[in-house]
Amino acid sequence: MSAPTQTATPTPSASGGGIARSVRDSLIIAKRNLLRMLRIPEVVIFALIQPIMFVVLFSYVFGGSISVPGAGLDADTYRQFLMGGIFAQTVTFATAGAGAGIADDMHKGLIDRFRSLPMSRGAVLTGRSLADLVQTALTLVVLAIVALLVGWRAHDGLLNALAGFGLLLLLGYAFTWIGALIGLSVRTPEAATSGGLIWLFPLTFISVAFVPSQNMPSFLQHIAEWNPFSATVVACRDLFGNLPEGYPVPDAWPMQHPAIASMLWSIVIIAIFRTLAVRKYRNAA
């Protein structure tokens, strides 16, 4: 008599399709990183302090000194004009934190342990980026409250305001993948922090975030107007109703169609840098 055959019970890692497994694994990693943030609250607190300082300093130090086309040297108008740039700067500066976190995991050998597990290859980075997105959303909520306290208002209704914040979160998520690639490419968290910030300063300041492009030299105007950061800033100002009545919109296509340009830039950045980051993760030693 032949021995009875045993039916193998599928393990959790083997069950489910590829996409379902990847989503499940990504959410598990995201939960792990969110719990880690809760256990180290000073990381979140320090991430909140910097944008609040920018709001206060730019509003009250530079508020009456920078001319906005169509409004002149009006402090309140500049405050409305400024907030789109501060919001966008806040979500992009989260890149440095994302890169440093991944570099720290690499340095401690945690990434090697994840790679040895039967899980989707892209789940570690996707989960990390989703957790960073949650932290960015929390930062935006706090920053919006501070902005309301200093006099900022969204004038075009709740739906347009939510659309503006949606574009900000999409840009922040896209830039998180740049941070992931930097974190995987360097040896220490300190190097990841420096590498994540050194290119962000020219990106944010050669833009229309803090001053109109009309005030720049002609060669910088073209860079600022085609900067993906600028497209999101102008889209937010438009959706929030923060552009002065007589503000001259530049002729560059991203400035004429900022919401579409912002989405396209963010999607392209995600497609390119997610591919590069996952490939780097697979080959990381």
**pLDDT, tens digit, for every residue of 185-198?**
888 888 888 887 88
In this prediction, residue 267 carries a pLDDT of: 97
In this prediction, residue 71 carries a pLDDT of: 62
* Structural domain includes residue 4: no
* Structural domain includes residue 223: yes
**pLDDT, tens digit, for every residue of 249-274?**
888 999 999 999 999 999 999 999 99
Q: What is the sign of the dihedral through the CA atoms of 219, 220, 224 and 227?
A: positive
In this prediction, residue 229 carries a pLDDT of: 94
d(CA 79, CA 56): 10
In this prediction, residue 13 carries a pLDDT of: 42
- At residue 74, φ and ψ (nearest 5 deg) are -105, 120
In this prediction, residue 3 carries a pLDDT of: 47
pLDDT-derived band of residue 233, with 50, 70 and 90 as boundaries? very high
* Structural domain includes residue 11: no
Count CB-CB contacts under 10 A for residue 245.
Answer: 7
Q: Say which residue the tokens 């100002």 belong to.
A: 237
**pLDDT, tens digit, for every residue of 134-176?**
989 998 999 999 899 888 889 888 999 999 999 999 999 999 9
In this prediction, residue 263 carries a pLDDT of: 97
In this prediction, residue 266 carries a pLDDT of: 96
Question: Considering the chain, what is the average pLDDT of its residues?
Answer: 84
pLDDT-derived band of residue 16, with 50, 70 and 90 as boundaries? very low
Q: What secondary structure does DSSP assign to 115-168, as a single string?
A: HTSSS-TTHHHHHHHHHHHHHHHHHHHHHHHHHHHTT----S-HHHHHHHHHHH
d(CA 210, CA 235): 14
In this prediction, residue 72 carries a pLDDT of: 61
* Structural domain includes residue 5: no
Q: Say which residue the tokens 């910030």 belong to.
A: 197
Taking residues 18-38, report their average pLDDT.
85
* Structural domain includes residue 44: yes
d(CA 117, CA 280): 17
pTM over 0.75: yes
- Residue among 189, 194, 28, 190 at smallest CA distance from 106: 189
In this prediction, residue 2 carries a pLDDT of: 47
Kindly provide the residue ranges of all beta strands, DSSP E only, lying in 160-253, ordered along the sequence.
none
Count CB-CB contacts under 10 A for residue 76.
Answer: 15
Contact by Cβ (8 Å): 154, 238:
no
Using a 10 angstrom Cβ sphere, with 0-12 exposed, 13-18 middle and 19 or more buried, the burial of residue 244 is middle
Residue 65: pLDDT over 90: no
**pLDDT, tens digit, for every residue of 68-125?**
776 666 777 888 888 899 999 989 988 888 888 888 888 787 777 777 777 777 788 8
| Residues whose CB is less than 8 angstroms from the CB of residue 40 and which lie 6 or more positions away in sequence, other chains included | none
* Structural domain includes residue 10: no
In this prediction, residue 177 carries a pLDDT of: 94
* Structural domain includes residue 69: yes
* Structural domain includes residue 6: no
Which three-class secondary structure state does DSSP give residue 270? helix
d(CA 79, CA 58): 8
In this prediction, residue 15 carries a pLDDT of: 42
**How many percent of the chain have pLDDT more than 70?**
91
By residue range, what is the domain housing residue 228?
18-283
In this prediction, residue 144 carries a pLDDT of: 92
d(CA 285, CA 280): 10
Please tell me the total count of domains within the chain: 1
Q: What secondary structure does DSSP assign to 42-104, as a single string?
A: HHHHHHHHHHHHHHHHHHHHSTTTS-BTTTBS-HHHHHHHHHHHHHHHHHHHHHHHHHHHHHH
Residue 245: pLDDT over 90: no
